A and B are shown apart, each in its own frame.
Chain A
Amino acid sequence: MVNINEVIETNKMVEEQTLDVRTITIGISLLECIDSDLNKVNENVYNRITTVAKDLDKVAMEIERDYGIPIVNRRISVTPIALVGGAACKKPEDFVTLAHTLDKAAAAVGANLIGGYSALVSKGMTTADEMLIRSIPQALCETERVCSSVNLASTKTGINMDAVRLMGDILLQVADRSKDRDSVDCMKLVVFCNAPDDNPFMAGAFHGVTEADAIINVGVSGPGVVKRALEQVRGESFEVLCETIKKTAFKVTRVGQLVAQEASKRLGIPFGIIDLSLAPTPAVGDSVADILCEIGLEYAGAPGTTAALAMLNDQVKKGGVMASSYVGGLSGAFIPVSEDQGMINSVEAGAITLEKLEAMTCVCSVGLDMIAIPGDTPATTISGMIADEMALGMVNQKTTAARLIPVIGKGVGDTVEFGGLFGYAPIMPVNKFSCADFINRQGRIPAPIHSFKN
Chain B
Amino acid sequence: MENKVIITVVGKDTVGIIARICTYLADNGVNVLDISQTIVQGFFNMMMIVDITKASRSFGDIQKDLETLGEEIGVQVKAQKEEIFQKMHRL
Contacts and interface: CB of A to CB of B under 8 A. Distances in A.
Q: Do A and B bind each other?
A: yes
Interface of A: 1-11, 65-69, 251, 254-255, 257-258
B88 A1 contact: no
Contacts of A4: 36-38, 45-47
A4 B89 CA distance: 12
Interface stretch (B15-23, B24-32, B79-87): B79-87
B88 A65 contact: no
A322 B37 CA distance: 32
A1 B34 contact: yes
Given A1-B34, A10-B88, A251-B88, 10 more contacts: A2-B86, A2-B89, A4-B37, A4-B38, A4-B45, A11-B78, A65-B60, A66-B80, A68-B78, A255-B88
19 contacts: A1-B34, A1-B49, A2-B49, A2-B86, A2-B90, A3-B36, A4-B36, A4-B37, A4-B47, A5-B38, A6-B85, A8-B38, A8-B47, A9-B89, A10-B88, A69-B84, A251-B88, A254-B88, A258-B87
B1 interface: no
Q: Counting chain B CB atoms within 10 Å of each CB, which of A7, A11, A257, A258 scores highest?
A: A7
Given A68-B78, A255-B88, A7 B59 contact: no
Q: Counting chain A CB atoms within 10 Å of each CB, which of B8, B40, B80 scores highest?
A: B80
Contact of B80 (A1, A67, A257): A67
Contacts of A9: 89
B85 A2 contact: yes
B84 A68 contact: yes
Interface of B: 6, 8, 34, 36-38, 40, 45-47, 49, 59-60, 63, 78, 80-90
Given A8-B45, A251-B88, A66 B6 contact: no
Nearest to A323: B87
B85 A257 contact: no
B40 A8 contact: yes
Q: For the complex, would chain A's binding face be called helix, strand, loop or mixed by DSSP majority?
A: helix
Contacts of A6: 85, 88-89
A251 B60 CA distance: 26
Nearest to B36: A4
B87 A2 contact: no
A225 to B, nearest CB: 11
A2 B90 CA distance: 9
B21 to A, nearest CB: 15
Top-6 shortest CB links A-B: A68-B80, A67-B84, A2-B85, A4-B47, A6-B89, A254-B87
Contacts of B89: 2, 6, 9-10, 251
Nearest to B90: A2
Nearest to A62: B60
A255 to B, nearest CB: 6
A257 B63 CA distance: 24
A66 B45 CA distance: 20
A67 B47 contact: no
A65 B59 CA distance: 10
Contacts of B36: 3-4
Contacts of B59: 66
A7 B80 CA distance: 10
Contacts of A7: 6, 8, 47, 85
Nearest to B82: A2
B7 to A, nearest CB: 10
Contacts of B37: 4
Contact of B87 (A1, A68, A257): A257
Contacts of B38: 4-5, 8
B63 A2 contact: no
A65 B34 CA distance: 22
B47 A255 contact: no
B18 to A, nearest CB: 14
A257 B86 CA distance: 12
B81 A67 contact: yes
A254 B59 CA distance: 23
Contacts of A2: 6, 49, 82, 85-86, 89-90
B60 A255 contact: no
Contacts of A1: 34, 49
Contacts of B81: 66-67
A251 B88 CA distance: 5
A136 to B, nearest CB: 40
Nearest to B46: A4
Nearest to A6: B89
Nearest to B5: A66
A66 B82 CA distance: 9
